[in-house]
Structure 1
Amino acid sequence: MNTFWQKFTLTHVPLQDWRSGSYLHQSVVGILRSWRQSSLLMQWADEIAAVLLSLVFVLAPFVSSTLVGLLLAACGGFWLLITLTDLRDQAKLTPVHLIVLLYWGIATVATALSPVKTAAFVGWTKLTLYLLMFALAARVLRSSRIRSWMIAIYLHVALIVSVYGLRQWFFGATALATWVDPESPLSKTTRVYSYLGNPNLLAAYLLPAIALSAMAIFAWRGWIPKALALTMFLVNNICLVLTFSRGGWIGLLALAVSLLVLLVYWLSIQLPPFWRKWSLPILLAGMLSVLILAILFVEPVRDRFLSIFAGRGDSSNNFRINVWLAVIEMIRDRPIIGIGPGNNAFNLVYPLYQQPKYTALSAYSVPLEIAVETGLIGLFCFLWLIVVLFSQGLTQLQRLRQQNTREGFWLMAAITIMVGMLAHGTVDTVWYRPEVSTLWWLTVAVIASYLHAPASQPTQINPATVTQQT
């Protein structure tokens, strides 16, 4: 069983042997390295790449998707330049890179076989830009200095976004769409959306900020940075709650539980026996108590929370259920390779299946969206990527825990961000928007950046191990 798990998670894939024997790798990577050695500009290649990536996350909440796309294209072009001029031993691959490349290949085939090829090609282009950004980020985030820089930049931008969201709560904000059932008690309640124009999108955008700011409290040195991190954590949490996004709340709950589990696991070495055993149950009980009190005594929270279980009695639930049923029919008709990536392809095919009056721009569920775009093959590949990310991430976390390095806090944040975004993604697809999709691939890149470990690594562990040890 252990051998199967190691093979499935690509623990012992001989990537070094493949690089040394690959004709493509030898003929492409580093062919311009002699020029790089004489170029003053390329001596700062990693820093330039970090600036390009930073521009994406600084501007994404405030500018159009077109400008973000241009920045992603610049990131992709610079990654290609680095690859062509890099030393061969610096162009490292990880198991994450292999599966991401496989998923891109599946999406490419789905585009070629799509019934709406032109529209699918647009979606394929967007996906390619995101994956090029991932490749560049995974390359430069191997530097702990650049990794910390990127995280700090995103956290400061997220703080600005959250503060403006709180301002909307106190001074009011015009609803730009029908986000709440007009007949529900929440029809007059303000749902903040800040600069992103949609409360569900804002909730997805803030999930990574909550995990990273929580870990910054431990990772940043000095009382002033720690106080800033605590402020970010509180403001981001409050703003996310005030979006009244039920998917966001589900993601926040999943994120909080996983964060507590990993944090207790990390600190358990230093805790006395009593707290090593009881700290996690006490913390989970405290979190559950706060949740119950909020449901009992805060009427808007109670109404919104109970609407999750209202089934078709809630208009939003009823809308999603009807969309999901239509999407399942789409998957049944093209189960192997799907209709091709992107919302343009979806918008052309979905009307053939939709129920009257239930138009939709997406599947409102990430697993269903992936299945309808790239078929069950693409869905399996995506789930495989998730398993490898968790398994490899937890293995590296175990290594960092033994070394007692602060870098482990950022890895814990990345793992819990994945949990939260996946939980939110089961009932929504806002993470296909550039503001959120870039954060998802940044998170994947953060985990991949930790996989260049020394030769003497701890044995591969099963994800259940962390829970058992806490």
Structure 2
Amino acid sequence: MFPLILLYVVLTIIRPQDYLPGLENVPILPVVLLLAFASWLFSSAKTFAAPQFLILPAFLLILMISEVTNGWTGGAIDELARFGPVVIAFFVFGAACSTQKRVRVAMGVFVVCAAVLALHGVEQSRLGTGWTGIPLSEGGRIQYVGIFNDPNDLGLLFAACLPMAVFLGRRGTGAMRPVWLGCAMLLLYGIVLTNSRGALLAVLIIAGCYVWYRKGVVVAGILGVVGLTAMKLVSSRMDELDAGEESAAGRVDAWYAGLEMFRDNPAFGVGAGNFTEYNELTAHNSFVLVLAETGFVGFVTWLAFVGYGFWMMLTIIRHVRVPGTDPKVEAEWVMEKQLALTLLLSLCGLFAAAFFLSRSYMVVLYLIAAMVAGHYIGARKRWPELPFFRISDGGWRWVPAAAGSVAALFVLVAVLLRTV
């Protein structure tokens, strides 16, 4: 099961089937996922011991219902075909990432795959075209094939993998340590080449959260201001980080349009994938996109899915143990917390970038979320004193949390519109 789902991750990110001759019409990705799912079905390692394993199928059902409530019954089948594989991948990968070693291996696979895409970007920036045959995008920004054909999507991947690369570099030994640290530098350079404001802000947020954890909020705030200033020097587009700038103004208008869609269809939205039927631009915000397309019901569900991941990693980090006498046990607990911190920082980078992109249904987001859920399930087996998360125990909190988030989005958009 684990090797098959790792192969699926590699094919999902590097995507040789999208550019190698003869593979265009070969269903490699679905076949590998089907084999991994079959292995999961017959495996004793399959688990449902996290709320996300219930929430994600519920979200799929809401996606289907959103199509039906907007008059397209056939759209429910389309959503099942489109998002169903994402749910399957989450189930399999979440069950597979149950040990510390497997989580580290999964991180390594993500980092190596992201580094390959960054190398493609380096070649692309120097020659004008990468080995995939894909040229630079408009404005000289690097891009890849398939789901990463947008520079911003590349930046999101690089930002999410950066904490993993740094962790592996710090924990690595021998010849592998400089390799992982080199990957981290390559990912940073790749982010610069994407010239993605969202990705650069994600890096700043990752660094700020880490400094906050280590040094406190004051130091993090000071370094955040310094970092933002430095990034404006690095990226030409960071100088345009203003609501009145044309690109930013278009995003704000799209957010406003999304909120209007929600007001007109508050329960189940305008239907999954239908945002651009009502607005020329996509939402440019994963939270607004879910709210507009699936309504409050879908937004509560999706927010709970995302929120539990953050909550789980914070629980491990904040958990206080009575130190024991066995140094091996203590070292294992230290590793547990370091893995949780790394995954938490990856989530911070991932959703910081996703706040400026319409990537609510992107498979990479759910693969990283699966790693998070799997790590917590494994941690609970190793440390039974960690709490068990149940939707029945406090799941209602996500309703007021979602309501508050919606209100915050309305306030944010109202403020930004006044500055345009």
Q: Are positions 1:418 and 2:347 aligned together?
A: yes
Q: Give the Cα separation in 1 of the matches to 2:345 and 2:30.
A: 25
Shifted more, 48-57 versus 236-245: the winner is 48-57
Query: C-alpha deviations, 1:4-63, integer Å up to 9, x for none?
Result: xxxxxxxxxxxxxxxxxxxxxxxxxxxxxxxxxxxxxxxxx4444444444334427955
In 1: Cα distance, 2:318 partner to 2:294 partner: 34
Q: TM-score, normalised by structure 2?
A: 0.76
Structure 2 contact 201–353 (Cα < 8 Å) conserved? yes
User: 1:103 is matched with which residue?
Assistant: 59
- Of 36, 40, 48, which aligns to 1:82? 40
What fraction of aligned residue pairs are identical, expressed as a percent?
Answer: 16
Q: 1:107 to 1:230 in 2, by over 3 A?
A: same
The reply on whether 1:126 has 2:55 as its aligned counterpart is: no
Is the CA contact 1:214–1:233 (under 8 Å) kept in the aligned structure 2? Answer: yes
Residue of structure 2 equivalent to 1:289: 226
Say whether the 8 Å CA contact 2:14–2:117 is kept in structure 1: no
1:41-190 equivalent positions in 2, closer than 5 A: 45-59=1-15, 71-72=29-30, 74-76=32-34, 78-80=36-38, 82-83=40-41, 85-87=42-44, 90-119=46-75, 121-172=77-128, 175-177=136-138, 190=140
Report deviation, 1:113: 2.2
Given the superposition, is the C-alpha separation of residues 458 and 323 from structure 1 closer, same or farther in structure 2, using an over 3 Å criterion? closer
Moved more, 159-168 or 398-407: 398-407
1:371 to 264, 284, 291: 291
TM-score, normalising length: structure 1? 0.69
Q: 1:442: how far off?
A: 1.5
Quote the offset at 1:226 in angstroms: 1.2
Alignment of 1:386-465 (within 5 A): 386-398=306-318, 403-405=330-332, 406-430=335-359, 432=361, 437-452=362-377, 453-454=380-381, 456-458=384-386
Opposite residue 289 of structure 1, the aligned amino acid is: V
- Greater shift, 318-327 or 227-236, is seen at 318-327
Q: Deviations over 1:61-116 (max 9, x none)?
A: 95599879862564256425532x344x8544212212223322322322332323
Shift of 1:431: 5.9
Aligned counterpart, 2:411? none
The one of 290, 302, 315 equivalent to 1:382 is 302
CA distance in 1, matches of 2:27, 2:287: 24
Measured on the aligned residues, the alpha-carbon RMSD in Å equals: 3.3
Matched residue of 1:451: which SS? helix
For 2:192, the aligned partner's letter is V
Q: Residue 230 of structure 1 aligns with which residue?
A: 181
Query: Number of matched residues?
Result: 369
> Do the aligned partners of 1:200 and 1:430 also contact (CA within 8 Å) in 2?
no
1:304, distance to aligned residue in structure 2 (A): 2.0
In the other structure, the counterpart of 2:203 is 252
- Structure 2 matches for 1:258-297, cutoff 5 A? 258-262=209-213, 264=214, 278=215, 285-286=222-223, 288-295=225-232
C-alpha contact (below 8 Å) 2:162/2:184 kept by paired residues: yes
Deviation at 1:150, TM superposition (A): 2.5
Cα distance change, pair 414–242 in 1 and its aligned pair in 2 (3 A): same
Give, as a single letter, the amino acid of the residue that structure 2 aligns with 1:93. Answer: A
- Name the CA shift for 1:290/1:369 in 2 (closer, same or farther; >3 Å): closer
2:164 is equivalent to residue 212 of structure 1: yes
| 1:221-262 per-position Cα deviation (integer Å, ceiling 9, x unaligned) | x13211111111111112202322112222222222223344
Q: Does 1:319 align with 2:269?
A: no
Q: Structure 2 CA distance, aligned partners of 1:142 and 1:101?
A: 21
Partner residue of 2:271? 340
Secondary structure at 1:93's aligned position in 2?
coil
Task: Check conservation: 1:72, 1:130, Cα contact below 8 A.
Answer: no
2 CA distance for matches of 1:397 and 1:91? 23
State the 1:291 CA deviation.
4.0
One-letter code aligned to 2:85? L
Please state how far the C-alpha of 1:336 moved relative to its aligned partner. 0.2
2:238 counterpart letter in structure 1: F
Distance in 2 (alpha carbons) for counterparts of 1:208 and 1:443: 9
Cα distance in 1 for residues equivalent to 2:18 and 2:165: 21
- Cα pair distance change 1:54/1:239, threshold 3 Å: closer
What's 1:203 paired with?
Answer: 155
